[in-house]
Amino acid sequence: MANELMLKYGCNPNQKPSRVFMKDGGELPVTVLCGKPGYINLLDALNGYQLVRELKRATGLPAAASFKHVSPAGAAVGLPLTETLRKIYFVEKKAELSPLACAYARARGADRMSSFGDFISLSDVCDVPTARLISKEVSDGVIAPGYEEEALAILSQKRKGAYNVLKIDPDYAPAPVEQKDVYGVTFEQGRNELKIDEQLLQEIVTQNKELPESARRDLLISLITLKYTQSNSVCYAYDGQAIGIGAGQQSRIHCTRLAGNKADNWFLRQHPKVLGLKFVKGLGRADRDNAIDVYISEDWEDVLGDDVWDKTFAIRPVPLTREEKKAWLAQQGGVSLGSDAFFPFGDNIERAHKSGVQYIAQPCGSIRDDNVIEVCDKYNMVMVKTGIRLFHH
């Protein structure tokens, strides 16, 4: 290890010189095993690793995250994949899957459009099944506490040997106070060491107080994900993974809508018509993702001209109507939703209900808390008052 790492440039090519270093003169907790990571790569890597480390501690399961521009596009724990999930995540039927590989597939597959060119974070030593999945996707790099020998060999071949593979010291403990420079001014604050666990889920403020274990797990996933997401943010979680993250919005309702639309797309990818799409042989994953996204949208027939049809689909798809989408989404339920700050109006709950939300965790503290709780009660939702804010900037 070294106490300094020179970078090609900062956030943009004109921002030079650029480096990361330890102010105390100690060694960096990160070792570059392959490639040459950039400024944004390292921001994503270090934020993502903190997220998966906390998920592992909170759930006891291996965890993975997909980061883009200092916010997660997906985060998940290592629950088994159903046949449907294998299909929408492009995981081959015969592919060997470890718990960590399942976590990665879920994190990468939650929002495949946003995860294109991501930086991957893993809570555990990267094994061969996980490395094989990573090798098939477009990403900038991966960070993990270690790598099996064969797994490292697989990853080192990606991008003709230029793929970024980082190893982080799992025993590294940062200083309790952190600093950040903005416009020549140094900001200082205590690190956010808040422990997110089931103790935060004790105060239920709605009439319905039934909170099953699966919902507790998913609420923890949503809250820990929010801890490392640019604020304002909300996170929809289901079946051990984030399925919709709305990051960096100035309005809470816009977060809820953005994340809700992503959650809807995740469910719609599992619609029989989408699963039945027939693509031209050899079409790349990214092109398939783009086509599916357009197919699910309202104006897909206008967007895809005849020339694109011929290059994309082996058989012209039957339209997925608005009525069919609405009916499919109406069947979904049991979704958990976390918010990094209080909901100021009940409109957030109304929007969340449309995406199958049944369980909510938020700080509360709005002057309209009564209205927000009233809307939850209207839909027989369970709302937990955490009493804590999770802003991240």
Q: Which residues are catalytic?
A: 68-69, 232, 393
Q: Which residues pair with 36 in a beta bridge?
A: none
CA–CA distance, 76 with 389 (Å, rounded to integer): 22
- Cβ atoms of 89 and 145 within 8 Å: the answer is no
CB 263 within 8 A of CB 355: yes
The answer to whether the CB of 325 falls within 8 A of the CB of 268 is yes
Please name which of 228, 233, 242 lies closest in space to residue 115, comparing C-alpha atoms: 242
CB atoms within 10 A of CB 43: 17
Residue 288 half-sphere exposure toward CB, CA atoms < 13 A: 21
Each as own residue / partner, the long-range contacts of residues 204-210 (CB below 8 Å, 24 or more positions apart, any chain) are 204/382, 204/383, 204/384, 204/385, 205/364, 205/369, 205/373, 205/383, 205/384, 205/385, 206/373, 206/376, 206/377, 206/381, 206/382, 206/383, 207/377, 207/380, 208/377, 208/380, 208/381, 208/382, 209/382, 210/382
- Could you tell me how many helices (H) and strands (E) the chain has, helices first? 15, 15
For residue 17, is the peptide bond before it cis, meaning its omega torsion is within 30 degrees of 0?
Answer: yes
Buried b or exposed e, range 252-276, using 16+ CB within 10 angstroms: bbebbbbbbebbbbbbbbebebbee
